Amino acid sequence: MGDRQTVPSGLLQQTRLFRYHPYQWKPCVVSEQRFMSLIAGNLGVVQRTLDAYQIAWAVCAGAAAHLYGNRRPIQDIDILIEPGRLPDVVRLLNQQQKVVQFDGQRILWRGIKIFDDLTIRRGREVYPFTLDADMRSRVRRLPLLGSLVPVLSPEDVALHKAVLARGPEEGKHDLADAVAIVRRQAFDYDYVQRRLALMRANGSATTVLARIGIEL
């Protein structure tokens, strides 16, 4: 019951956390250095757990965009694992006395969010996005907060964000992140086309790619 749930406040210089009290959760303010230290330690726990039990995984979303493009402050770590293994991860963390939140679709634990499916649904449109064999083969090992962790390829990170296409009005930076990744990273355009097909985004591919500055 001593775990803390991080609540991003936009700027990390003063980050609000919720500390457990026998009768309620009480907010407290920690420094950016302390906040990053907490997340770094938690990432190390998750890395050791997933690697020890050979569960395929990779850092994705904002933290991956931080490594490949814009260096906005990291507020949390999103992780995509192989499909169907979330209950196993919950069990493994519980065995280590880690108190996690699990709603059947994602695990939340002290600044770490773990998913096994990041499929985008918009009205009747569905864009599948799971850690398939092709995606796994392109994962890179990169240093993040003191750990050498697997990270989705820049192509996968940028395409997922381009399809999401959320902007500042929603408190997100998807398009800005995707554009920055395209500018800073070399892309495999054959793989881009293949991933778009797997995401069933072929029909809207021109629009998606134009958003982030790619012309096939």
SS (H, E, C) the chain: CCCCEEECCCCCCEEEEEEEECCEEEEEEEEHHHHHHHHHHHHHHHHHHHHHCCCCEEEEHHHHHHHHCCCCCCCCEEEEECCCCHHHHHHHHHHCCCCCEECCCEEEECCEEEECCCCEEECCEEECCCCCHHHHCCCEEEEECCEEEEECCHHHHHHHHHHHCCCHHHCCCHHHHHHHHHHHCCCCHHHHHHHHHHCCCHHHHHHHHHHHCCCC
**Interacting residues of 15 by C-beta distance below 8 A, sequence separation 6+:** 6, 7, 8, 9, 29, 30, 31, 32, 35
The pTM (predicted TM-score) of the whole model is: 0.82
CA-to-CA distance for 186 and 202, rounded, in angstroms?
22
Q: What would the pLDDT profile of 83-133 be if each residue is shown by its tens digit?
A: 999 999 999 999 999 999 999 999 999 999 999 999 999 888 899 999 999
Q: Is 5 within a domain?
A: no
Confidence of residue 18 (pLDDT cuts 50, 70, 90): very low
Q: Is 9 within a domain?
A: no
Q: Is 15 within a domain?
A: no
> What is the average pLDDT across 2-9?
40
Q: Is 25 within a domain?
A: no
Q: Is 70 within a domain?
A: yes
Q: Is 2 within a domain?
A: no
Q: Is 54 within a domain?
A: yes
Model pLDDT, residue 7: 37
Model pLDDT, residue 161: 94
- Extract the tokens encoding 209: 């790619």
> What is the average pLDDT across 146-171?
92
Model pLDDT, residue 169: 83
Domain that holds residue 90: 32-212
CA-to-CA distance for 115 and 60, rounded, in angstroms?
10
| CATH code (residue 88) | 3.30.460.40
Q: Is 26 within a domain?
A: no
> How many structural domains compose the chain?
1
